[in-house]
Amino acid sequence: MNAITDLRANAGEQERLRIRSAGFTGPTAGLAPGNVQANMVILPRDLANDFLRFAQANPKPCPVLAVTEPGDPRFPTLGANLDVRTDIPRYRVWRHGELVSEPTDVLDVWRDDLVSFAIGCSFSFEEALVEDGIEVRHIACGTNVPMYRTNIPCTPAGVFNGPLVVSMRPLKPRDAIRAVQITSRFPSVHGAPVHLGLPQSIGIADIGKPDYGDAVPIGPDELPVFWACGVTPQAVIAQVKPEFCITHAPGCMLITDLRNTSLSAL
């Protein structure tokens, strides 16, 4: 690392320390610009084994950046000074599929059998799109990305199965082609789109009514472009109703020391 990348990685650590001290408890979009942010799923060891096989079989919705050892709160490949129990602004704690609390740390409910999964997030490829001059509609609108359940089944593994959830960004055809090229370079953060242009054919009846997030306007000269979405594993887990589970609260991601550019496959 040179001085500049050191400084930038450091921005990730500084934000985590601010979050750890509960000095920040909100959504992480825009924090430590250029650093990879990750979705978080924390499961007891038995379920974690099934979940890892599910992720392996469904890498587009579920691209695993790193997995911890059971009980270990550290992610050494994502950040040297990183504690998954304290470094996310807000968590969701689930028991038997019910949301029981939204704490700012999970020290008091931590268990020795918990395995944590850091899962790639679209923030990384959106940065690459914006960097290339492509407008990302929900960012321009200041809303959440629209997400839809599709009729595309995930490959089941153990107790986990369910439909693919996709996020949608409307793009002019020329930008859609460019977006395929750009996001193909980022397989660990959902990669290339899974569909574009014909939402009905993947089971989306009304593009104006997303299942999660907010609707965005689509121009007559634009196509809806769909990427596999990190909400897929959350929806699949919700269906299984595990006895215990921790996730990040929506938008409150784990900020890592990795740079988005370092995820580029090319």
Q: Report the nearest approach of a copy of itself to the CB of residue 102 (Å).
A: 37
Supply the minimum distance, in Å, between the C-beta of residue 90 and a copy of itself.
Answer: 35
Q: How far apart are CA 81 and CA 79, in angstroms?
A: 6
Candidate residues 184, 261, 262, 264; the one interacting with a copy of itself per rule CB under 8 A? 184
Q: How many residues bind a copy of itself (CB under 8 A)?
A: 18
Q: Is 99 in the site for a copy of itself (CB under 8 A)?
A: no
Nearer to a copy of itself, 44 or 187 (CB): 187
Residues 194-233 that bind a copy of itself (CB under 8 A): 194-198, 201, 221, 223
Query: What six digits make up the tokens of 155?
Result: 């490959």
Shortest spacing between CB 226 and a copy of itself, in angstroms: 9
Please, which residue, 99 or 198, has the CB nearer to a copy of itself? 198
Distance of closest approach, residue 152 Cβ to a copy of itself, in angstroms: 10
DSSP label at residue 83: -
Q: Does 193 bind a copy of itself (CB under 8 A)?
A: yes
Q: Shortest approach of a copy of itself to residue 75 CB, angstroms? A: 31
Q: Which range binds a copy of itself by CB under 8 A, 75-83, 115-123, 187-195, 250-258?
A: 187-195
Q: Residue 258: which of 5, 20, 84 has the closest Cα?
A: 5
At residue 57, what is the residue type?
Answer: A
User: b/e map of 85-110 (b: 16 or more CB within 10 Å)?
Assistant: bbbbbbbbbbeeeeeeeebbbbeebe
* C-alpha separations of 13 from 39, 151, 246, 261 in Å: 17, 40, 22, 18
**Residues ≥6 apart with Cβ < 8 Å to 13:** 79, 80, 81, 82, 257
- Find the binding residues for a copy of itself in span 123-182 (CB under 8 A): 173-174, 176-177, 180-181
Among residues 3 and 266, whose Cβ is nearest to a copy of itself?
Answer: 266
Nearer Cβ to a copy of itself (67/196): 196
Task: Report helix, strand or coil for 46.
Answer: helix
For residues 154 and 236, what is the distance between their CA atoms, to the nearest angstrom?
A: 9
Q: What is the 3 state secondary structure string of 175-195?
A: HHHHHHHHHHCCHHHCCCCCE
Binding site residues, a copy of itself, CB under 8 A:
173-174, 176-177, 180-181, 184, 192-198, 201, 221, 223, 266
